[in-house]
Structure 1
Amino acid sequence: MFLSKVASIFAWAFLSFWTAIPGGIALGLTPLVVGVTAWFSYSVGVVVVVLLGEPIRAWVMRRFGNSLMGNPNSPIQRAWDRFGLLGLSILAPLTTGAQIGAAVGLTLGVPRHRLLIGMILGAAVWAALITAAVALGLMGAQAIR
């Protein structure tokens, strides 16, 4: 029963990181298990996309060259210039998810090791914050009763 709950949280977090944590706690798992499972699932998603996506990006760049490079004054490029990998690492777990966030990073030319480290650390921070918030919220709700 325990492994099936952990597996369901792993699959849930692979698709929707921040909703899996309250769901896992609602299933009766301890906050630590839920947070680590959600973080690990997100990290697996990042690793899969980066390892599969980097050769594809390299092939596309060899094939089409700089003709794919966009306008340096575009809103996306300006946002990237302003916030960079730190902004992507902080926002991706809550907005786009692991797969799209890693693909965006690859598309914008972030080196593989920096992208992996940034995205995984960003997910660890959010997993800790969300897990703590949900656990403390439940403790507070139980104290009110």
Structure 2
Amino acid sequence: MEFLLSLWEYIVIFILAAIPWIEILIIIPIGILNGLNPLLVGFLSFLGNLSTVYLLILFFEKFQQWRAKKKPKKEKKRAKRAVEIWNKYGLPGLSLAGPFITGAHLAVVIAISLGAKKQATLLWTTISLALWTIAITVTSYYGVDLFKN
């Protein structure tokens, strides 16, 4: 029974990491704080977040059509900041800063909207999420360990 509860916790980690604006920045520390295996939490968070980013890139045109049907939105502060980063550092800069500035999903939307190729966006987003996952997992693990001692 305990195994099923633990399995369910890891499934929830994967699902929550896939949701835009929750993503890896929030879910990894929470999972580690709850005593789950840090490597598994990091890996599942990475896969969860990356899976919805990949789907967004794959179906970007459909996403744009859906978004265009909604009433027009005002440009938000985070999106403005992302465009500034794009103009200064290009796709690599936006991809690497994206998880903190806008979230990975919005960074992908902005990058492709500004003319980035899908394959390049996929590559840079994967690199960014992998690096941030490692950094957040290590920091969370040792941060929790410091509080316990």
Query: Smaller-chain TM-score range?
Result: 0.7 to 0.9
Gaps of 5+ in 1: 58-73
Out of 89, 94, 119, the position equivalent to 2:95 is 89
Structure 2: tracts of 5 or more residues without a match: 65-79
Task: Report sequence identity in percent.
Answer: 28
- For residues 58-97 of structure 1, give each alpha carbon's deviation from its aligned partner in whole angstroms, at most 9, with x where no partner exists: xxxxxxxxxxxxxxxx987654231111121112122322
State which of 19, 27, 38 in structure 1 corresponds to 2:34: 27
1:141 partner amino acid:
F
RMSD: 2.3
In 2: Cα distance, 1:109 partner to 1:14 partner: 25
The residue that corresponds to 1:50 in the other structure is: 57
Q: May I ask how many residue pairs the two structures share in their alignment?
A: 128
- TM-score normalised to structure 2 length: 0.76
Distance 1:19 1:50, change over 3 A: same
The yes-or-no answer on 1:99 pairing with 2:105 is: yes
Structure 1 contact 46–102 (Cα < 8 Å) conserved? yes
Q: For residues 48 and 76 of structure 1, what CA distance do their matches in structure 2 show?
A: 21
- Structure 1 position 56, deviation (Å): 6.4
- In structure 1, the partner of 2:86 is 80
* Bigger Rg, structure 1 or 2: 1
**Contact 1:11–1:41 (CA under 8 A) maintained in structure 2:** yes
Corresponding position of 2:73? none
Q: Which stretch of the first structure deviates more once superposed, 36-45 or 97-106?
A: 97-106
> Structure 2 vs 1, CA of residues 81 and 96 (structure 1 numbering), >3 Å: closer, same or farther?
closer
Letter matched to residue 30 of structure 2: G
Indicate the residue corresponding to 1:37 in structure 2. Answer: 44
Assess, with a 3 A threshold, how the Cα gap between structure 1 residues 79 and 10 changes in structure 2: closer, same or farther. Answer: same
**Normalized against structure 1, the TM-score is what?**
0.78
The code of the aligned residue for 2:86 comes to: W
> Are the counterparts in 1 of residues 46 and 133 from structure 2 also a CA contact under 8 Å?
yes
